[in-house]
Amino acid sequence: MAPVGSKRGILERLGAGEVVIGDGGFVFALEKRGYVKAGPWTPEAAAEHPEAVRQLHREFLRAGSNVMQTFTFYASDDKLENRGNKLTFTGQQINEAACDLAREVANEGDALVAGGVSQTPSYLSCKSEDEVKKIFKKQLDVFIKKNVDFLIAEYFEHVEEAEWAVQTLKATGKPVAATLCIGPEGDMHGVTPGECAVRLVRAGADIVGVNCHFDPMTCVKTVSMMKAAVEKAGLKAHYMTQPLAYHTPDCSCQGFIDLPEFPFALEPRILTRWEMQQYAREAYKAGIRYIGGCCGYEPYHIRAVAEELAVERGFLPEASQKHGMWGSGLEMHTKPWVRARARRDYWEKLKPASGRPLCPSMSTPDGWGVTKGHTELMQQREATTKEQLRPLFEKADAKY
- Residue among 258, 282, 307, 308 that touches a second copy (CB under 8 A): 258
> Can you tell me which of 17, 173, 264, 311 binds a second copy, judged by CB under 8 A?
264
**Site map 104..123 versus a second copy, x via CB under 8 A:** -----------------x--
Query: Cβ–Cβ contacts within 10 Å for residue 11, how many?
Result: 15
Terminal-residue alpha carbon distance, the chain: 52
DSSP string, 98-164: HHHHHHHHHTTTT-EEEEEEE--HHHHTT--HHHHHHHHHHHHHHHHHTT-SEEEEEEESSHHHHHH
Would the annotation count 295 as a binding residue?
Answer: yes
Stretch that binds a second copy, among 89-97, 160-168, 193-201, 364-372 (CB under 8 A): 364-372
Q: Are 172 and 144 in contact (CB under 8 A)?
A: yes
Q: Which is nearer to a second copy, 284 or 346 (CB)?
A: 346
Q: What angle do CA 197, 199, 203 make, to 5 degrees?
A: 115
Task: Determine the interface stretch with a second copy among 18-26, 32-40, 106-114, 202-210 (rule: CB under 8 A).
Answer: 32-40
Least distance in angstroms from the C-beta of 88 to a second copy:
11
Q: 298 to 357, contacts with a second copy by CB under 8 A? A: 298-300, 303, 318-319, 321-324, 327-343, 346-347, 349-357
Site mask for a second copy (CB under 8 A), range 161-200, x = bound: ----------------------------------------
CA distance 31 to 298: 12
* Footprint (CB under 8 A) of a second copy, residues 122-141: 124
- Burial pattern 101-137, b for ≥16 Cβ within 10 A else e, equals bbbebbeebbbbbbbbbbbbbbbbbebeeeebbbbbe
Binding segment for a second copy (CB under 8 A), chosen from 8-16, 129-137, 183-191, 261-269, is: 261-269
3-state secondary structure of 68: strand
Shortest Cβ 341–a second copy spacing (Å): 7
219 annotated to a ligand binding site? no
What H or E segment, with its residue span, contains residue 58? Answer: helix 50-63
The residue from 39, 287, 314, 373 that contacts a second copy (CB under 8 A) is: 39
Q: Which of residues 44 and 206 has its CB atom nearest to a second copy in the complex?
A: 44
Give the total of residues touching a second copy (CB under 8 A). Answer: 107
Binding range to a second copy, per CB under 8 A, among 1-9, 12-20, 230-238, 265-273: 265-273
Give the separation between CA 58 and CA 108, rounded to whole angstroms. 8
Scanning 31-39, 96-104, 144-152, 233-241 for contacts with a second copy by CB under 8 A, the matching segment is 31-39
DSSP string computed for 220-280 = HHHHHHHHHHHHHTT---EEEEE--SB--TT--TTGGGGSTTTTTS-GGGBPPHHHHHHHH
CA distances to 109, 153, 171 from 312, rounded to whole Å, are 19, 27, 34
Nearest 5°: the CA angle 369, 371, 377 is 110
Residues 204-223 that bind a second copy (CB under 8 A): 215
Query: Is 251 annotated for ligand binding?
Result: no
Which helix (DSSP H) or strand (DSSP E) does residue 209 occupy?
A: strand 207-211
Between 82 and 211, whose beta carbon lies closer to a second copy? 82
Q: CB under 8 A: which stretch of 91-99, 160-168, 226-234, 256-264 binds a second copy?
A: 256-264
Of 175 and 299, which has the nearer Cβ to a second copy?
299
36 near a second copy, rule: CB under 8 A: yes
Assess whether the previous peptide bond of 299 is cis (omega < 30° from 0): no
Binding to a second copy (CB under 8 A) within 54-93 occurs at: 55, 58-59, 62-63, 82-85
As annotated, the binding site for Zn(2+) includes 212, 294-295
As annotated, the binding site includes 212, 294-295
